[in-house]
Amino acid sequence: MAAQFGRRLYRGAATTAVAAVAVAALSASQAPGAPSPLVAADGEHPSAGSSTPADQGGGVSGDSPYYTDLPPLNTPDKPGGSANLPVTGPAESGIPASVLAAYKKAQDTVAGTDAGCRLPWQLLAAIGKVESGQARGGRVDAQGTTLSPILGPALDGNGFALIKDTDNGAYDGDRTHDRAVGPMQFIPSTWATWGQDGNGDGRKDPNNVYDAALAAGRYLCAGDRDLSTATDLDRAVLSYNHSDVYLRTVRSWFTYYNRGTHEVPDGTGVLPTGPTSRTPGPGRPDGGPSSTPTPTPTPSPSKTPKPSTSPKPTKPAEPSAEPSKPAGTAKPPAPSHTPKPEPSPTLVAASLEKVSSIASTAVAGETFGGHAAVRARSVRGGLVAKEAVTFGITGNSGVTFEGGLRTVVVPTGADGIATAPAVRAGEKTGEFQLTANARGVSTVSAFFYGTVTSHLPDTVALTGTPKLTAVAGEAFEGITVAATYKGKPVGEVLTYPSIVTDGRDPDAPGQGPFWTNGAGDITRSLDEQYTEANGVYKVPTFYADGPAGTYTLRIIVGDAAIDIELTVVAPPDRTGS
């Protein structure tokens, strides 16, 4: 989607008849179903074939233009599958080595964390082709970073969406408006949410094809999508760019790449040329044809026979030239309607208010009760529908939304409410924070907090072979127990040791073994005791007392308990009798 390449089609513009035929032959795409609750687009997705407003888009690239080159109609035969890549093939099926490696690495990485999504690298390749011509034919360095920036036009509302600067020019060099950046054309605000470190260099760089490909993969897999189904695949592509023309173009390349691809050296990939040239001319915010429509000269060949064929061919020649002009100029006015259904974006969220929250605690591995939800309101307090609200989790690294994501984007409904998916605790204990913000709100507007607590042990067992017999007046020491849950140690759990007194005064002398507190007083129970990180609890030294006999040391850890029998023996008779 680099502005440097000349021939582009802006969102919302109609395809030419040639493009339509080629798409029909190659794509066979199906209409998307109901919208996913986790899309970073404008909410409802139209079914394939319906018109899409040129400036309604949003998605990843913020309504920037994209290439509409279509693959050759003679797609390569697929002997077995594109997993076994042919060494050579048609030029259009060649993908630069670093770019291809990035797509495959992203597929493998996503499969490791979200296997249910079934992300195919060929889908990333199709989007990369449409967005940037495979990083301008693979012009990247050894680390996969583009040799020069790939930037879209300023999103200043003039033929595109209006998106004011969100990154202070850090990614796109523009401190007034945002621009789409890099091989997969992320706008800075979307990158701030979805950016990834795909090549492990510690940076999240939208200009790096490894980082951008992984970010695109995560974005396409948002929610519980299964991209092996046509419906979910269409929904994912539409969330990337809210345009049916875009969907059909990506679908065409996806089909093409599934028929077979091959690797080519970096910098030698085929650059897009574009079957048509579309620029937003005067009075055409919909991105209609430019003031120099190149298709118009097509009738001129019919005028050339004029001298050689006398009046007979002249008649067909003139009508053929006349109709083609209206055909060329009458068709674009149809898309020029598309910007008119714009009332919905006029309300922008100025604030978010909490509607519901999650439970404050959950045991490791369990799901938090409740859902975080916020309501978007405009400056005047009106409800804002179709506002993209970003929910993010920070802190405890084990906490995620259902599906494994730490960040999700949810559109508000007609009631202005966006509800986050359920939050699941990992095995790591500790606190976390859930935040919600919206595009029109400059600072995070809603905070939710939670804590993951340990599993309560289901078993407490004596460890080692401690001495469980003591002479009255001497000490019991070295007694330890281990607390586990399903065989795994449970640390930092509140523990209560006590001597069972069976109705006797627990604070009186001569009533069995005892501890002493800080003041030196007798006590037969202890508070504020915890298991160690490895689940072990070491019983503090205590003393034998009272008449000889057996006593019970009871240790309660969470929901589990153990009774340990102690024996107190009388001291030896030292009278000599």
pLDDT at 76: 52
Distance of CA 470 to the CA centre of its chain: 62
Query: For 157, left (φ over 0), alpha (ψ -120 to 50), or beta?
Result: left
Find the mean pLDDT for residues 102-123. Answer: 93
For residues 179 and 572, the model is more confident at 179
Per-residue tokens: 243: 């345009």
- Whether 32 and 49 have beta carbons less than 8 Å apart is answered as no
Closest by alpha carbon to 275, among 264, 289, 261?
289
Q: Are 113 and 244 members of one domain? A: yes
Span 297-316, mean pLDDT?
43
In the chain, the percentage of residues whose pLDDT exceeds 70 is 71
Mean pLDDT throughout 343-363? Answer: 80
The pLDDT assigned to 509 comes to 73
Q: What is the pLDDT of residue 12?
A: 34
State if pTM tops 0.85. Answer: no
Given a cut of 80, whether residue 374 has pLDDT beyond it is yes
> Do 465 and 431 belong to one domain?
no
The answer to whether residue 197 sits within a structural domain is yes
- HEC profile for 178-196? CCCECCCCECHHHHHHHCC
What DSSP designation does 302 have?
A: H
Q: Tell me which H or E stretch contains 515.
A: strand 515-516
pLDDT at residue number 243: 83
Least confident of 85-99, 258-272, 275-289: 275-289
Q: Is residue 87 part of a domain?
A: yes
Please report, for residues 1, 154, 287, 349, the alpha-carbon distance to residue 176 in angstroms, rounded to integers and kept in the order given: 20, 9, 22, 20
**Arithmetic mean of pLDDT over the chain:** 76
Q: Quick: pLDDT tens for 479-494.
A: 999 999 889 898 888 8
The domain that contains 421 carries what CATH number? 2.60.40.10
Q: What is the pLDDT of residue 40?
A: 33
pLDDT tens per residue across span 393-429: 998 878 999 888 999 999 999 999 999 999 999 888 8
Judged against a pLDDT cut of 60, whether residue 226 lies above it is answered with yes
Beta bridge partner(s), residue 145:
208
Q: What pLDDT was estimated at residue 382?
A: 87
DSSP H or E stretch at residue 529: strand 529-530
75 closest CA partner among 203, 258, 315: 258
Same domain (yes/no): 394, 252: no
pLDDT band, very low/low/confident/very high, at 345 (cuts 50, 70, 90): very low
* Domain span holding position 372: 346-453
Inside any domain, residue 194: yes
Give the end of a domain, one of 235, 264, 293. 264
Look at residue 63 in the predicted model and tell me its pLDDT: 59
Q: Is the pLDDT of residue 8 over 70?
A: no
What pLDDT score does 444 carry?
Answer: 54
Residue 431 sits in the same domain as residue 521: no
* Average pLDDT for 347-360: 88
- Say yes or no: 521 and 415 in one domain: no
The pLDDT, as a whole number, for residue 22 is 39
Instruction: Answer yes or no: is 313 within a domain.
Output: no
549: left (phi over 0), alpha (psi -120 to 50) or beta: left
> Is the pLDDT reported for residue 125 higher than 90?
yes
**50 lies in the same domain as 88:** yes
Q: 140 and 102 share a domain?
A: yes
- Stretch 185-191: mean pLDDT, rounded? 92
Q: Which tops the pLDDT comparison, 534 or 50?
A: 534
Q: What are phi and psi of 461, to 5 degrees?
A: -135, 145
- Which of 310-314, 424-428, 565-569 has the least mean pLDDT? 310-314
Point out the domain boundary residue: 264, 285, 312: 264
List, as one string, the DSSP characters of 482-494.
Answer: EEEETTEE--S-E
Residue 22's region, left for phi above 0, alpha for psi from -120 to 50, else beta, is: alpha
Q: Which two tokens stand for residue 523?
A: 């006590």
For the ranges 114-118, 149-153, 316-320, which has the lowest average pLDDT? 316-320
**Whether residue 86 has pLDDT greater than 70:** no
Which of 39-43, 76-80, 318-322 has the highest average model confidence (pLDDT)?
76-80
In a domain, 5, yes or no: no
pLDDT surpasses 50 at 458: yes
CA 526 to chain centre: 48
pLDDT by residue (tens digit) across 142-169? 999 999 889 888 888 887 778 888 888 8
315 against 349, higher pLDDT: 349
pLDDT tens, position by position, 273-298: 754 333 433 333 333 323 333 333 33
**DSSP classification of residue 162:** B
Shared-domain flag, residues 480 and 436? no
Examine residue 334 and state whether it is found in any structural domain, yes or no.
Answer: no
Question: What is the number of structural domains in the chain?
Answer: 3
Same domain? 443 vs 507:
no
pLDDT band of residue 518 (cuts 50, 70, 90) is: confident
- Taking residues 222-237, report their average pLDDT: 90
The answer to the question of residue 186 being in a domain is: yes
Q: Which token pair is 24?
A: 């029909």
Pairwise pLDDT comparison (305 vs 97), residue with the higher score: 97
Q: What is the DSSP letter of 52?
A: -
> What confidence tens digit (pLDDT) does each residue in 17-76 have?
333 333 333 333 333 333 333 333 333 333 333 333 333 345 676 656 677 777 776 555
Please indicate, yes or no, whether residues 538 and 481 belong to a single structural domain of this protein. Answer: yes
My answer on whether 466 and 399 are in the same domain is no
Both 447 and 465 in one domain: the answer is no
Out of 244, 264, 284, pick the residue that ends a domain: 264
Residue 327 lies in a domain: no
Confidence at residue 218, expressed as pLDDT on a 0 to 100 scale: 94
Stretch 454-467: mean pLDDT? 90
